[in-house]
A and B are shown apart, each in its own frame.
Chain A
Amino acid sequence: MLEILISLFALSIGAGFIGSISGLGGGVFIVPALVILAHMPMKVAVGASLISVVATSAGASVAFVRDGWTNLKVAMVLECATVTGAVIGAYLAGVVPTVVLELLFAAMMLQSAYFTITKRGDDILTKGDALAERLGLGGEVPDVDGHPVHYEVVKVPQGGALMVVAGLMSGLLGIGSGALKVMAMDYIMHLPLKVSSATSNFMIGVTAGAGALVFLARGDVATTIAAPVAIGVTAGALTGSRLLPHLKVEALRTVFVIILVLIAAEMGWRALSGI
């Protein structure tokens, strides 16, 4: 038993650590680690991963909420979309063939790789559209001198539509879908980058929680796997966030992209070759 626990802890601590320093979250790495290295069925890996995403997001969002970057109203509006998608996705994960899940996972890895290499803008809109203003989605961020700058938000329905997809992928594949969430808020809704990241982190736990509840209630979470994985991923993510200020993440960006592309290739190959 000790050997199994040590190997599960090692895998999950590594996944949590890389997920934390890459900003992509542990789920992106723990699912392939469990499937490829621990030889677990995809659905078991997805269930365990959803639980670990809930655990890590709890720790991460504490810091972001404390720092005041999270836009609670934007989070709540978009959570309506992500939770809907996550419940549908987690339900479908019970009936969709594994080969489809593996192919979708490979596609999401490539999307995450694209997200990692893409430079994002940090433009601040001072005029929002009618719906965003009616919902009071604007907020304030400090400028370089620490003075508050007001920002507004646009294209809430379009952002919400992408959030349904993010929730769907989260429930289906056991990932936080942080890359999709930040893209929706940053590219489509034009939220400031730090606000997008913080709000995404705040939302990830709720999205993954919705999927995890479906898996738990259905009996698709193997406690034997999920328990050590949740502890390990959380420990890895905490270590990653502590070391993050001392690491040259920009230099590691290429390594992350290579890892993501390799995972996508492996998962795609597994799906197509029927391993």
Chain B
Amino acid sequence: MSQLEENRILREWTPILLRSILIAAMIFLIVGLILDYTFAPDYYVQRYQAVQHGQLLGKEKFGLLYDRVRAGNPHAVLTIGLFVLTLVPLARVAFCFMLFIRERDYTYVALTAYVLAGLIVGVLVGSVG
């Protein structure tokens, strides 16, 4: 693929992809805060004060997230929004990975795969410690 073609694809698709994910994440975050403000403002204040004292930092159980979002739990909606946000860099690297595969540039396919693997290892490292 020529550099011109590479630039065209990058310029056209990367902004659309990044913006879409960013907007989706922001919608989750704003909706979560509105739900918090509407239905559980006191609980929000309690959590805020607990966090100030170094408490209430716990893992969200992925299996329970969907049910909690469906039930309109504000903090589950906020957690989804934060996870969607972290998809932005993941999507960016995955996009480059596909680009290098199309180019048959296997050195860069390997390098990009290493970066993707690093992001996945990050989740595993966080999960165990």
User: Does chain A bind chain B?
Assistant: yes
**Residue ID in chain A nearest B21 by CB atoms:** A58
In the docked arrangement, what's the CA distance between A77 and B107, Å?
A: 10
**What residue of chain A has the Cβ atom nearest to residue B118's Cβ?**
A83
Contact A223–B127 (Cβ < 8 Å): no
Q: Does A267 contact B (CB under 8 A)?
A: no
- Which 3 A-B pairs rank lowest in CB-CB distance, beginning with the nearest? A217-B126, A209-B89, A219-B59
| 21 A-B pairs with C-beta separation under 8 A | A1-B41, A2-B41, A51-B86, A55-B22, A57-B88, A58-B18, A66-B11, A73-B108, A83-B119, A87-B121, A90-B126, A91-B126, A205-B88, A209-B88, A210-B119, A217-B126, A220-B126, A222-B56, A223-B75, A223-B82, A224-B75
Asked if A1 contacts B36 (CB within 8 A), the reply is yes
Asked if A62 CB lies within 8 Å of chain B CBs, one says yes
In Å, the complex CA distance between A90 and B125 comes to 9
| Shortest beta-carbon distance from A179 to chain B in Å | 19
**Contact assessment for B48 and A65 in the assembled complex, using a CB-CB cutoff below 8 Å:** no
Cα distance, A221 to B79, chains bound together (Å): 9
Given A87-B118, A217-B127, A223-B79, A228 and B15 touching (CB < 8 A)? Answer: no
User: B115 to A76, Cβ gap below 8 A?
Assistant: yes
**Known contacts A1-B41, A72-B96; A209 and B86 CB within 8 A of each other:** yes
Is the CB–CB distance between B15 and A65 below 8 Å? Answer: yes
Check if A218 sits within 8 Å of B33, measured CB to CB. no
Given contacts A40-B52, A224-B48, contact A219 B111 (CB under 8 A): no
As a 0/1 sequence over residues 81 to 107 of chain B, the CB contacts with chain A under 8 angstroms (1 = contact) are 111011011101100100110000001
Contact with B along A48-77 (1 / 0, CB 8 A): 000100110111011001101010110011
Question: Contact at B41–A231, with CB atoms within 8 Å?
Answer: no
Q: Closest CB of chain A to B80's CB: distance in Å?
A: 10
Interface size on B, residues (CB 8 A): 65
**Are the C-beta atoms of A227 and B118 separated by less than 8 Å?**
no
Known contacts: A55-B85, A72-B10, A209-B89. The answer to whether A230 contacts B29 by CB under 8 A is yes
- How many A-B Cβ pairs are below 8 Å? 194
A84 to B121, CA, bound (A): 10
Please list the residues of chain B having a beta carbon within 8 angstroms of any beta carbon in chain A: 3, 6-7, 10-11, 14-15, 18-19, 21-22, 25-26, 29-30, 32-33, 36-37, 41-42, 44-45, 47-48, 51-52, 54, 56-60, 75, 78-79, 81-83, 85-86, 88-90, 92-93, 96, 99-100, 107-108, 111-112, 114-115, 118-119, 121-127, 129
Contacts of A228 in B (CB 8 A): 29, 33
Please give the distance in Å from A45's CB to the nearest CB on chain B: 10
> Are A76 and B111 CB-contacts (below 8 A) given A206-B92, A227-B33, A234-B26?
yes
Q: Does A80 reach chain B (CB closer than 8 Å)?
A: yes
Q: Tell me if A15 counts as interface (CB < 8 A to partner B).
A: no
Residues on A with C-beta less than 8 A from B114 are 80, 83
Q: Is the CB of A39 within 8 A of B52?
A: yes
* CB-CB under 8 A for A231 and B45, given A66-B11, A223-B79: no
Is A135 located at the chain interface by the 8 A CB criterion? yes
What residues of B have a CB within 8 angstroms of the CB of A227 in the complex?
29, 32-33, 78, 81-82
Q: With a CB–CB cut-off of 8 A, which chain A residues contact B126? A: 90-91, 213-218, 220
| A224 and B47 within 8 A (CB) | yes
Distance of A58 Cα from B124 Cα, bound (Å): 24
A211 to B10, CA, bound (A): 25
- Residues in B whose Cβ lies below 8 Å from that of A44: 51, 54, 57
